[in-house]
Amino acid sequence: MSIFFVAEVGINHNGDMGICKELIDLAADAGCDAVKFQKRDINVVYTQEFLDSPRESPWGKTQRAQKEGLEFNQQQYEEIDSYCNTKGIEWFASAWDINSVNFLRQFDCKFNKIASAMIISHDLLRMIAEEGKHTFISTGMSNYDDIEKAVDIFKDADCPFELMHTVSTYPMRDEDANLRLIQTLRDRYQCNVGYSGHEVGLAISYAAAALGITSLERHITLDRAMYGSDQSASVEPNGLRQLVGAVRKIEKALGDGQKRILEEEISIADKLRAHIRFESHGNF
């Protein structure tokens, strides 16, 4: 089974549909399987006190202005849906609240995503699991008990899912990657496990691919210097193309683990072992 490659647009579009379409173009051209967004009802996810607090941004001087500036509306999501269809790439989003789940249902996306922050929101998880769509569950900021409760919800609903090993720091330090947890999660919960990375660079994602992950998610950006909290942990265009190409090579290189002699090796073996056979014949 090929690794399912998710290019996380997230909020790196900065509320600009032009940037959003460029990122969709990038993901499709690089060979990604899907692009992912984030959907929030900011009046549910954030407190009034927080929204009223000061924050300088391109959209104003409060947290509310910044959060509203990053949220796409109905018309913009319709445009995303149409544009992804023309580009031949799937799209879906992580819903951060029940209102956002209901909003996303109108688009009938093939996949769902549980953000690490929401893995403990059991009502939200049950609502998503009811849809029966394959769901990617990120496990950052979570302990085994948190993960097990989420797994039980999806198993009880008979909803297909896979966990995604995640470390929720932006950017993540290399020494915090703990990639051996991929196998631990696979063994402990008897399910497929992917990797959602927030590191700088590509090496850790290559290593995750070699550990048998079933999905790989990385944030993408046009330029890491752009405004936004996720930009520094994102992959730029050349890096994304390199990453997807290398991961596909790694998949091929892993093989099936069965020892065999390739046909191309036979003539080489005859040549390189000729002296051994000569010595063996000479002993008769």
Q: What percent of the chain has pLDDT over 90?
A: 96
264 in a domain, yes or no? no
Look at residue 280 and tell me whether its pLDDT is greater than 80. Answer: no
| Dihedral angle of Cα 161, 137, 142, 67, to the nearest 10 degrees | -160
How high does pLDDT run on average in the chain? 96
Query: 187 φ, ψ to 5°?
Result: -70, -40
- Inter-helix orientation angle 122-129/98-105, to 10°: 20
Structural domains of the chain, count: 1
Give the confidence band of 234 by pLDDT, cuts at 50, 70, 90: very high
Look at residue 94 and tell me whether its pLDDT is greater than 70. Answer: yes
- What domain range includes position 219? 4-258
For 158-172, the pLDDT digits (tens) are 999 999 999 999 999
Cβ contact 220:235 at 8 Å: yes
Average pLDDT over residues 9-33: 98
226 in a domain, yes or no? yes
Average pLDDT over residues 224-237: 95
Label residue 160 exposed, middle or buried (CB < 10 Å: 0-12, 13-18, 19+). middle
Token output for 181: 């947890």
Average pLDDT over residues 9-20: 97
Token output for 206: 């290559």
69 in a domain, yes or no? yes
Look at residue 283 and tell me whether its pLDDT is greater than 60. Answer: no
Determine the pLDDT at residue 281: 60
231 in a domain, yes or no? yes
272 in a domain, yes or no? no
Average pLDDT over residues 252-268: 95
Look at residue 222 and tell me whether its pLDDT is greater than 70. Answer: yes
For 165-216, the pLDDT digits (tens) are 999 999 999 999 999 999 999 999 999 999 999 999 999 999 999 999 999 9
For 114-130, the pLDDT digits (tens) are 999 999 999 999 999 99
268 in a domain, yes or no? no
274 in a domain, yes or no? no
> How many angstroms separate the CA atoms of 194 and 216, rounded?
6
Average pLDDT over residues 262-282: 86
Determine the pLDDT at residue 1: 78
> How many angstroms separate the CA atoms of 118 and 29, rounded?
31
CATH number at residue 240: 3.20.20.70
Label residue 153 exposed, middle or buried (CB < 10 Å: 0-12, 13-18, 19+). buried
For 130-161, the pLDDT digits (tens) are 999 999 999 999 999 999 999 999 999 999 99
* 3-state secondary structure labels for all residues of the chain: CCCEEEEEEECCCCCCHHHHHHHHHHHHHHCCCEEEEEECCHHHHCCHHHHHCEEEECCEEEHHHHHHHHCCCHHHHHHHHHHHHHHCCEEEEEECCHHHHHHHHCCCCCEEEECHHHCCCHHHHHHHHCCCCEEEEECCCCCHHHHHHHHHHHHHCCCCEEEEEECCCCCECHHHCCCCHHHHHHHHHCCCEEEEECECCCHHHHHHHHCCCCEEEEEECCCCCCCCCCHHHCECHHHHHHHHHHHHHHHHHHCCCCCCCCHHHHHHHHHHCHHHHHHHHHCC
Give the confidence band of 255 by pLDDT, cuts at 50, 70, 90: very high
Look at residue 284 and tell me whether its pLDDT is greater than 60. Answer: no
More confident: 207 or 279 = 207
